[in-house]
Structure 1
Amino acid sequence: MSALSGKVAIVTGSGRGLGLAYAQELARQGAAVIVNDVDQAVADAAVATITEAGGQAAAVVIPVGTTEAAQALVKGALDNFGHLDILVTNAGILRDKSILKMTDDDFDAVINVHLKGTFTCVREAFAYFKENGVAGRIITIGSPTGQRGNFGQTNYAAAKAGIVGMTRTWAIEMKKAGVTANTVIPVAATEMTRTVPYFQKAVEAQDRGEAMPDFFRKELGFGTAEDVAGLIAFLASDAAANITGQAIGAGGDRLQLWSHPEAIESAYNDGGWTVEALTAGYPFADKAQSVGEKFPELPAELQPEVAK
């Protein structure tokens, strides 16, 4: 028996990229999968890759965000496969701009798909789980940007940080029903990273069908979409029944457990901290926390080639 035999999963945004890798691995482990995309041809092609490999899949073509879309996805699982056990909320878009260039539409579009789409889909799935006594699995998708921040991604950082916050809350609310909720933070080669010179040698190796250099896979924890899919399938399985409320990073050969935000320093002042007291001696002046991701310098042999 495979780890997910008899289970049914929904994976939003699974027509290509990371979402497709998640759907394929869930199917390989025995789950029937609802593939979701906004493009019928892309969704149908994704379903074909699963069924041709001996798995079960069906497509629901709809943009996530609304309650109606969430209802259509759950209905698709029930109509095609009779029940639902797993939800992976992967769907997302990017509208990267620095804050003065970011419009209301840029902000709202990203929040609607990532944050509201996650909320509406989880709400609908959990309602089904609770009503039917299903010890379901909720797996949301975060990002290092949501954990650390990144230039030009106000909307995306807000959405991804919000997803982790919601997931921790759901782990508390859903515990009594036996439903787990965890966030996966992937680091993998995608169409976005293809254009970043820093990752050039890793992407070129992948395109040749070769393993990425150890520097990327180990030190950076950067690999393929398939490297993340194993964690998704594990968290969806019965083996992960006691894991909930966690933010877990996966990429290349590396697995990471992200901490919950915690106060790291405390200071006290008789009468409280007035402006005068803080001006006289701000207690955390030498303890400022870093922001953004810091990448180590590439080894000489992995430096990107400069076009001539």
Structure 2
Amino acid sequence: MSLDGKVAIVTGAGRGLGLAYAQELARRGASVVVNDVDAEATADAVAALESSGGRAVAVVAPVGPTETAKELVSTAVEHFGRLDILVTNAGFLRDTVLWKMSDDDFDTVINVHLRGTFTTVREAVQHMRQAGEGGRIICVGSPTGQRGNFGQTNYAAAKAGIVGMVRTWALELKRAGITANAVVPVAATAMTATVPYFAAAVRAEANGEPMPAFFRHDLGFGTADDVAGLVAFLGSDAAASVTGQVIGVGGDRLQIWTHPEAALTAHRDGGWTYDALVDAWPTTFAGAAQSVGERFPKLPEEFEPPTS
């Protein structure tokens, strides 16, 4: 099933995962609006898509402001006549522990990831609803937004918020035939290149070598191209019934994340007072307490980063 005749916007598409998404969408027949803040990277991305036979146009602007969202949608319509697919991928990191995180560290990450997703999706669905032909909203989450990660208060908040919005949009947009899903990629990117745990996998990709099976299969960690197929699928007519889902993908693994559900329910006549909780917590509730943070298997010895 091709994407011939479809038109897509991909934010943060100058390099990395966003570029891989744009390339796969174009390969499947979609015309693509390529967005990034880096003018040179954006121009290179458009040239790469066109040299492979695709149709593409650039919008160099930061996501977050409503003006950028309007420019992205108007560019799609003016150049290609319609808008069918939006992939909100743009983002970056400003990692530090809570007590050292500045207002600017927090606000900047929230503005790009969370507000940028909100404003761009809002503008896109206004057009899609008016056009009356449905559409596909594909937002990018993160394992950090699902489970938390040390030093990433701002990023965790943004990515968890994106998933919450996607679940809400799936309800609000159903009647209009517009799906909304979140993709949780696990791949070698600039964001993972500095993590020692992934060093052997990142090094293999950089050298053009096959990524070790431990990373691809056991860990579900792969290349940007491993994620792109899911993005193209969610943008296609084949995924018309898929909405409100959070789907993790990396290497050889694909996962559908559960939506939060109560792990334990208990009732007490008169309610749960302080004294009742002191008595009952160790025996009734403690066993259902949930873990936090990502859980990685032990690295095989051959992939252990060298110690200094």
What TM-score do you get using the length of structure 2 for normalisation? Answer: 0.98
Deviations, residues 79-129 of structure 1 (Å, cap 9, x unaligned):
211111000000112111111111111111011111011011111000001
Q: Counterpart of 2:217?
A: 218
The reply to whether residue 293 of structure 1 matches residue 294 of structure 2 is yes
Q: Which amino acid aligns with 1:176?
A: R
Q: Counterpart of 2:132?
A: 133
Q: Which amino acid aligns with 2:146?
A: Q
Q: Quote the Cα distance in structure 2 between the aligned partners of 1:224 and 1:238.
A: 25
Q: Counterpart of 2:236?
A: 237
The reply to whether residue 66 of structure 1 matches residue 53 of structure 2 is no
Deviations, residues 41-63 of structure 1 (Å, cap 9, x unaligned):
11101101111111111100110
Once the two structures are TM-superposed, the CA of residue 193 in structure 1 deviates from its matched residue by: 1.7
Secondary structure of the structure 2 residue equivalent to 1:194: coil
Question: Do the aligned partners of 2:263 and 2:288 also contact (CA within 8 Å) in 1?
Answer: no
Q: Quote the Cα distance in structure 2 between the aligned partners of 1:247 and 1:97.
A: 26
Count of matched residue pairs: 306
Secondary structure of the structure 1 residue equivalent to 2:285: coil
Secondary structure of the structure 2 residue equivalent to 1:59: strand
- For structure 1, the 5+ residue unaligned runs are none
Q: Counterpart of 1:284?
A: 285
Question: Do the aligned partners of 2:10 and 2:86 also contact (CA within 8 Å) in 1?
Answer: yes
Q: Which amino acid aligns with 2:36?
A: D
Once the two structures are overlaid, the 10-residue window that deviates more, 285-294 or 254-263, is: 285-294
Secondary structure of the structure 2 residue equivalent to 1:269: coil
Q: Quote the Cα distance in structure 2 between the aligned partners of 1:114 and 1:194.
A: 20
The reply to whether residue 183 of structure 1 matches residue 144 of structure 2 is no
Once the two structures are overlaid, the 10-residue window that deviates more, 204-213 or 157-166, is: 204-213
Q: Quote the Cα distance in structure 1 between the aligned partners of 2:71 and 2:250.
A: 32
Q: Quote the Cα distance in structure 1 between the aligned partners of 2:2 and 2:307.
A: 46
Q: Quote the Cα distance in structure 1 between the aligned partners of 2:90 and 2:191.
A: 15
Question: Do the aligned partners of 2:65 and 2:116 also contact (CA within 8 Å) in 1?
Answer: yes
Q: Counterpart of 1:149?
A: 148
Secondary structure of the structure 2 residue equivalent to 1:64: coil
- For structure 2, the 5+ residue unaligned runs are none
Once the two structures are TM-superposed, the CA of residue 148 in structure 1 deviates from its matched residue by: 0.3
Q: Quote the Cα distance in structure 1 between the aligned partners of 2:53 and 2:293.
A: 42
Q: CA RMSD in A?
A: 0.9
Once the two structures are TM-superposed, the CA of residue 192 in structure 1 deviates from its matched residue by: 2.4
Q: Counterpart of 1:159?
A: 158
Deviations, residues 179-204 of structure 1 (Å, cap 9, x unaligned):
00000000000112222221121112
Identity of matched residues, %: 67
Q: Quote the Cα distance in structure 2 between the aligned partners of 1:174 and 1:196.
A: 38
Q: Counterpart of 1:194?
A: 193
Q: Counterpart of 2:92?
A: 93
Q: Counterpart of 1:45?
A: 44
Q: Which amino acid aligns with 1:250?
A: V
Q: Counterpart of 1:16?
A: 15
Deviations, residues 151-197 of structure 1 (Å, cap 9, x unaligned):
11001000000000000000000000000000000000011222222
Q: Quote the Cα distance in structure 2 between the aligned partners of 1:106 and 1:205.
A: 32
Q: Quote the Cα distance in structure 2 between the aligned partners of 1:181 and 1:19.
A: 18
Q: Which amino acid aligns with 2:78?
A: D
Q: Which amino acid aligns with 2:219?
A: L
What TM-score do you get using the length of structure 1 for normalisation? Answer: 0.98
Q: Counterpart of 2:101?
A: 102
Secondary structure of the structure 2 residue equivalent to 1:195: coil
Question: Do the aligned partners of 2:183 and 2:247 also contact (CA within 8 Å) in 1?
Answer: yes
Q: Which amino acid aligns with 1:105?
A: D
Once the two structures are TM-superposed, the CA of residue 78 in structure 1 deviates from its matched residue by: 1.0
Q: Counterpart of 1:255?
A: 254
Q: Which amino acid aligns with 1:18?
A: L
Once the two structures are overlaid, the 10-residue window that deviates more, 293-302 or 173-182, is: 293-302
Q: Counterpart of 2:269?
A: 270
Secondary structure of the structure 2 residue equivalent to 1:35: strand
Q: Quote the Cα distance in structure 1 between the aligned partners of 2:287 and 2:263.
A: 13
Once the two structures are TM-superposed, the CA of residue 146 in structure 1 deviates from its matched residue by: 0.1
Q: Quote the Cα distance in structure 1 between the aligned partners of 2:234 and 2:203.
A: 31
Q: Quote the Cα distance in structure 1 between the aligned partners of 2:304 and 2:101.
A: 32
Q: Which amino acid aligns with 1:184?
A: V
Q: Counterpart of 2:206?
A: 207
Once the two structures are TM-superposed, the CA of residue 238 in structure 1 deviates from its matched residue by: 0.3
Secondary structure of the structure 2 residue equivalent to 1:286: helix
Q: Quote the Cα distance in structure 2 between the aligned partners of 1:276 and 1:268.
A: 15
